[in-house]
Amino acid sequence: MTLSELSPGLSCRIKKIRVRGLVGQRLLDMGLFPGTLVLVVRNAPLVDPVELKIDDQYLSIRHLEARGIEVDLI
């Protein structure tokens, strides 16, 4: 299951990040790495972004990037 498939209000743990290159490094810099707990706040159905909450910070990423992040539901 990928992060872009989750509905708002669901929590998950990041299993694997398949995004490579500069974008993958940027995701790691923003705190998205395997083992991180994530809450999906908003998920726009057709247009970006996906809003996430990690600890006390909010983060928005594109659906394309969220499709490259494998997660396990909690």
Mean pLDDT of the 1-6 span: 93
Within 8 A by CB and 6+ apart from 23, the residues are: 65
Q: What's the CATH superfamily of 3-73?
A: Ferrous iron transport protein A (FeoA) (2.30.30.90)
Inform me whether the pLDDT recorded for 45 exceeds 80: no
Residue 48 — pLDDT band, cuts 50, 70, 90?
confident
Phi-psi region of 51 (alpha: psi -120 to 50; beta: other; left: phi over 0): beta
Of 69, 72, 71, the C-alpha closest to 28 is 69
Greatest extent of the chain over all pairs of C-alpha atoms, in Å:
30
Inform me whether the pLDDT recorded for 44 exceeds 90: no
Of 30, 34, 35, 19, the C-alpha closest to 59 is 30
